[in-house]
Amino acid sequence: MDALNKYLFFSVSNDLYCIPIMIVREIIRYEKITPMRDADNYLKGVINLRGKIIPIIDMRLKFGIEAKEYDDRTVFIIVDINGDKEVYNVGIAVDSVSDVIDVNSNQIEKTPEVGFKLKTEYLKGIAKIKNQIAMIIDMNKIVKTEDIIELTN
């Protein structure tokens, strides 16, 4: 299978999500975040990753789930977000990362319009893998380019 069909699976609260592996830059353990004033509550702040400023989005807060203190199991997934003129790096704070799995197009269904606590605008679809269901996240809908620019300047 090619990289277009590989997804990184992770959990937020008790729910399973995935994103295309091709947008994942790296996965790092929790490190200290510098808070940013006047930012939306889900924008936790920034980290300095080898000299590059990376905004961190708390996926629990973005999805309207109760906040949880970060601990040694908290993971930051650094992803590429396509802006108008360049690619930006953003970190998403998740509870854990599970696996990279090949997903065939016949294992992906459209997102139902009802029955989801998560806003369906953030979803590209639903992946059915074995006995599990994972929501496929559209990272370009999660993050606004303007927010990234504001946080990194």
For 79-127, the pLDDT digits (tens) are 998 877 888 899 999 999 999 988 988 888 887 766 555 567 788 889 9
Alpha helices in the chain (DSSP H): 59-62, 139-142, 145-152
Amino acid identity of 15?
Answer: D
- Residue-level pLDDT at 87: 86
For 119-136, the pLDDT digits (tens) are 677 888 899 988 888 999
Judged by DSSP in three states, 94 sits in strand
Query: Residue 28 pLDDT more than 60?
Result: yes
User: Closest by alpha carbon to 4, among 21, 25, 27?
Assistant: 21
**Can you read off the two tokens belonging to residue 148?**
């990234």
Buried b (16+ CB within 10 A) or exposed e, 101-120: bebeeebbeebeeeeeebee
28 with 132: CB under 8 angstroms? no
- Residue-level pLDDT at 33: 93
- What's the CATH class of domain 3-152? mainly beta
- In angstroms, the first-to-last Cα distance of the chain is 39
19 with 137: CB under 8 angstroms? yes
Q: Where are the domains of the chain?
A: 3-152
Query: Is this structure's pTM higher than 0.95?
Result: no
